[in-house]
Structures are given as C-alpha cells and as structure tokens.
Amino acid sequence: MSNITIYHNPACGTSRNVLGMIRNSGEEPTVIEYLKTPPDRDTLKRLISAMGVPVRAVLREKGTPYADLGLDDPQWTDEQLIDFMLQHPILINRPIVVTPLATRLCRPSELVLAILPQAQRGAFCKEDGEVVVNAEGQRA
C-alpha cells in the first residue's frame, strides 16, 4: 500500500501528468477517481485544511456548473461551498495529492515534485511534450 494518494480525474491532462510524475518517482499511489468515489464531508474538509487554502481555492470553474450555481457570489459560506462540491464532485479542483510531506492541489502539475518523498528516476515529459524532468532526474 502506497503512502501517496491522488484524487484523480483520468479525463484531465494535468491529473494524468501528476500521476505520471508520482510513478516516475518509483511510487504506485492509491488512485481515487473522485468523480466515481467522491470524498465525504470530513475527508474533503480534512484535505482543504491540510492544504492550508481557503475553500474557494479548491473550487473548479472550467467545465463545471460553477457559473450556473452562482458560486462566485461571496454570500456562500465555506460549509455551503463544501455542500456544492459534495453534490457536484466535478467542482473539486484536481488533482489533490497527499504524501507524507504535504497535501497539495497540484496545478500546475510540477507542484507535485516538491511533495514527493523520492526523487524522479528519469526523464519525464508532459503529454504536450514539455520536458519537466531531464534524463538525470533533475527538474528541467
């Protein structure tokens, strides 16, 4: 069992790149496809707290009902915003990665490198061809 967990959306390029970098460090993470298996309220609150960010920082706008629900309105409390994320998991931005070092929303995907316990084992390129890690395992 891995000590790394990724809240993953396989349809998201950023999420796939982060998963690739985790695997490139020699780890096989626990992969939670959060659209199929959404976190419960306590888990979501714990993740947000561990990231040390406001609840709004975890809301995803693009490709979600964010605008239709009027979530840009400051009237919504953190608890209400969490309610919306639980009702519509697509509103949870991704990927969220939990490692022994930290919990982080990894956008852009390179942010995961700072929280991985093991170094990259070789070169890694994003799906678009951008080199993130060189052949020596160093950040490009």
Secondary structure class of 31 (helix, strand, coil): strand
2 pLDDT above the threshold of 80: no
State percent of the chain over pLDDT 70.
Answer: 99
Enter the DSSP assignment of 41.
H
Check: CB of residue 98 under 8 Å from CB of residue 105: no
Q: Does the domain formed by 5-133 have CATH 3.60.150.10?
A: no
- Catalytic residue numbers, as ranges: 12
pLDDT reading at 94 higher than 90: yes
Q: What pLDDT band is residue 60 in, cutting at 50, 70 and 90?
A: very high
Q: Which residues pair with 92 in a beta bridge?
A: 59
Bigger pLDDT: 135 or 33? 33
pLDDT at 1: 54
- Global confidence as pTM: 0.95
